Structure 1
Amino acid sequence: MMGGEADGFERLWTPHRMAYVSHSSDRPEYQGEHECPLCQKIGGDDRESLVVHRGEHNYVVLNLYPYNPGHLMVCPYRHIGWYTDATDAERNEMGDLTQQAMRVLARVSGTKGFNIGMNQGAVGGAGISEHLHQHVVPRWTGDSNFLPIIAKTKALPELLDDTWQRLSDAWTKEG
């Protein structure tokens, strides 16, 4: 192998994604709470804003561009961009709500796994780097396919409003 030792990995080259890596000027920067899409959800109607649950320091919202059906985000009400800026109460509740989200998603959708995490900063991959949020992505065997790669299309079997209804109903029962 030219340029290194074989490591057993196949490579899928996606040079078109270099725009994201090289600080694309297309990414909006939100100058404070009045422009932040996650802050705008705080005062809005839960159904319209896709807010599934509200805690004391954080709220849980469906991702507007989900990786999978039921892709949730746990967000603090405060407009902070870094995990290190979260108070103990915000951090602890974020963990509690993440656990609750996992239980609700498992009960409602039968998911068998999760991807959970945060992207910090624009160069870390955060789409909205100015407002901290933790992703809770349900996963199933075989949920990945070729469509996003070759057709720039994501197959999602449920409308966001239907997902919102199922999860918010289940969250209420979770108590």
Structure 2
Amino acid sequence: MDVTADDGEVWGAETSTGSFGAPSPAGQEDAVVIEEPGAFAPPEDHYQRLWNPHRLVYIGGEGKPSDGSERRCPFCRIPRGDDEQGLVVARGELCYVVLNLYPYNSGHLMVLPYRHVSDYTDLDEAETLELAAMTQAAMRTTRAAYAPAGFNLGINQGEVAGAGIAAHLHQHVVPRWPGDSNFLPVVAQTKSLPELLSDTRRRLADAWPGTGATAASRHT
């Protein structure tokens, strides 16, 4: 079957001669054709492709808990492990700060209570105060390290509101820059991230203020 490209050209309708010309005369034995690697690609369409294969694990739900129990919760598991491996940026007494593994923007942080609670109203007074204080510290740290023009702050409360892991409360802190939302996320549902998560985590941990919560160690 012929395939028509966006510009109207037809490709894939190759004849027995190995070209887009006329077929071999009747009775003439077809020649053996060795294709060049580029012959299997579509014609040039003036678009660049940005491949993000790591996103497939998010789409497929890999690592997402099968239920809302504390035993299966990744947000309960992360602070028990290595800070670098878990992308933990800072630790407080009741809450901690971690990079989002599937960030909307570089520097996308989450502030969470250690305790496995799902609703904002389930936090006690001390947890509420520390969550707020660590959110402020996350903003100050991100400003010092990356100088964003603004932030999106918010809690997606419940699955219906968009929470990926609704069983464990988490506050998003997303830095924003002018022009950071372009045709890629709007048209292609793709986000371009200019820095590795491990580098972002190290940069923010190094910039975390020394008062109140402490920056996460590079090794635990």
TM-score between both structures, scaled by the size of structure 1? 0.81
Matched, 1:164 2:188: no
Q: Residue type matched to 2:140 in 1?
A: R
Matched, 1:110 2:147: yes
Q: For 2:82 and 2:121, locate their aligned partners in 1 and report how far apart those are by CA, in whole Å.
A: 29
Q: For 1:92 and 1:108, locate their aligned partners in 2 and report how far apart those are by CA, in whole Å.
A: 24
- From 108, 117, 126, the equivalent of 2:163 is 126
Q: Count residues with an aligned counterpart.
A: 150
2:110–2:170 contact (8 Å) kept in structure 1:
yes
Identify the residue that residue 36 of structure 1 maps to in structure 2: 73
2:97–2:110 contact (8 Å) kept in structure 1:
yes
Cα distance, 1:30 vs structure 2: 2.7
Cα distance, 1:40 vs structure 2: 1.0
C-alpha RMSD of the superposition: 1.6
Deviations 1:128-162 (A, max 9, x none): 10000000000111110111233232100000000
Deviations 1:72-104 (A, max 9, x none): 000000000000000111110000000000000
Q: Equivalent residue of 2:191, what SS?
A: coil
* Unmatched runs of 5 consecutive residues or more in structure 1: 1-25
Identify the residue that residue 136 of structure 1 maps to in structure 2: 173
Q: For 1:29 and 1:106, locate their aligned partners in 2 and report how far apart those are by CA, in whole Å.
A: 36
Q: For 1:148 and 1:39, locate their aligned partners in 2 and report how far apart those are by CA, in whole Å.
A: 30
Identify the residue that residue 5 of structure 1 maps to in structure 2: none
- From 191, 208, 217, the equivalent of 1:154 is 191
Q: Residue type matched to 1:35 in 2?
A: R
Identify the residue that residue 49 of structure 1 maps to in structure 2: 86
Which one has a bigger Cα radius of gyration? 2
Identify the residue that residue 49 of structure 2 maps to in structure 1: none
Cα distance, 1:28 vs structure 2: 5.2
